[in-house]
Structure 1
Amino acid sequence: MKRPSVYMLKGFAYYMDFVVYPLVVAGLSAAYLMKDFDGRPLRWLATVIVGAAVWTLVEYIIHRFILHHVMFIREMHDQHHRSPKELIDTPIWLSLSFMFAGVLLPSWWLFGFGPATGFTVGMTLGYLIYGLMHHAMHHWRIRHGTYLYRAKRRHAQHHASIDEGNYGVSSPVWDYVFGTELPDHGMESGKRRPWL
């Protein structure tokens, strides 16, 4: 019997986010509907939207201050910068621990079960969108003129620039707010970069 290669194991682990997190969203949504549904779904949906918006700030903070500055994690992230097509991702046990211990439990304690599930669903959807976008940026051909293409250009600048910036992958908002947006000289001059 042939043993699976390390690459296949890494690939399996890499793609687990795309299986596990939709199940987390479905499970938390079902738990809300069965345990805490109060007949006001718009209120719960508002907490989902708030969670997704907050995710964009969390994504920016993690990328800027942890992935680029915490030694062990920085080494893994540097490997991603050197080999962007390699299937390198945050280990699922770490991201799941964050979602439950860092998001669901504190928000449950502060706001109650219903709002906590909505907020966590929003954060999880934000993380899933980030993961899908980041994967697409490195592995798909993306049509010019789309939001995803512009996001891919911004992310390619992040990988190629000696200056640090463009930390937002799913949204550029926090790069604008905190002044870390990198100028796109290639777009200004009409030059195309080979990775786009």
Structure 2
Amino acid sequence: MKRAVILMNRSAHWWQWVRHFGDFVTIPLAILTFAGLAGLSRLYLVVVGLLAWTLVEYLMHRFVFHHFPLARHLHQLHHDHPADPDSERSSLSTPLVVAPFALLSLGIAGVEDGSAILAGLLAGYLIFIAVHHAVHRWPVNPRSPLYSIKLRHLVHHHLEDCNFGVTTGFWDVICRSSAGAVAKRRLRSRRSLAGRRRRPRTSYEPAGSHRQGEERTAPPAC
């Protein structure tokens, strides 16, 4: 009985490791496989795929994980428990995420070009999960390049409506969803609202007293 319990605990620990860190083994192997199919002559398409990932990451985070009901519910678990790896994506679900991009890339660009683009997308995804893991679980030195990324992402966790890019803030700047841009819009909205509140109301004029060509002011509500 005791032996069975030990084996069950080891099995549970193994599956937990696979769920949390399996991508760091399988994704590099997949990148090498697809890059090998593409060949060195298509290295530029790998770079294209890598850059394309930054946009995919931004759009999925902003519009899928923060608006689509099921994805939003699962993503909220990560916002509520950011340091808990069980509240994040699982390596076991990665094939479901990668499959549509693989079919799209290979179907549109063909096996060789599509493999190069897919290798770049996978490389971007690998960088994303590595950076995201680091900013939540590593003590990052202020002089590290990761420090500004960590601060930007922690602001997203605090406000939730800005800084959707994790690996880069480029698309937040382009789409005006950075923390600074969102703060400026809020400030302009508050100033506009305060101005409307301070604006004096036009007093009601009896019928026939308005000038020709001017609209008659509606009577005040009771």
One fold, TM greater than 0.5?
Answer: yes
* Structure 2 segments unaligned to the other structure (5+ residues): 182-222
SS in 2 for 1:179: coil
* Structure 1 segments unaligned to the other structure (5+ residues): 185-196
1:120-151 Cα offsets, whole Å, 9 max, x none, are: 00000000000000000001011213321100
The answer for the alignment partner of 1:92 in structure 2 is 91
The answer for the alignment partner of 2:43 in structure 1 is 45
Percent sequence identity over aligned pairs: 29
> Structure 2 residue aligned with 1:139, among 118, 129, 137?
137
Q: Please, what TM-score do these two structures have when normalized by structure 2?
A: 0.71
Relative contact order higher in (CA < 8 Å, ≥ 6 apart): 1
Pairing of 1:48-87 with structure 2 (within 5 A): 48-87=46-85
The answer for the alignment partner of 1:171 in structure 2 is 168
> Structure 2 residue aligned with 1:13, among 19, 22, 27?
19
1:97-125 Cα offsets, whole Å, 9 max, x none, are: 3323x222222222221111110000000
Instruction: Give 1:5 shift.
Output: 8.6
Structure with the greater alpha carbon radius of gyration: 2
User: Quick one: distance in 2 between partners of 1:151 and 1:5?
Assistant: 36
Check whether the contact 1:108–1:116 (CA below 8 A) recurs between aligned residues.
yes
Check whether the contact 1:166–1:175 (CA below 8 A) recurs between aligned residues.
yes
Q: 1:4 and 2:1 equivalent?
A: no
Pairing of 1:113-124 with structure 2 (within 5 A): 113-124=111-122
Instruction: Give 1:29 shift.
Output: 2.1
Alpha-carbon spacing, 1:118–1:181, altered in 2? closer, same or farther (3 Å): same
Check whether the contact 2:18–2:91 (CA below 8 A) recurs between aligned residues.
no
User: Quick one: distance in 1 between partners of 2:9 and 2:158?
Assistant: 33
Q: Root-mean-square deviation (CA), in Å? A: 2.2
Q: Please, what TM-score do these two structures have when normalized by structure 1?
A: 0.80
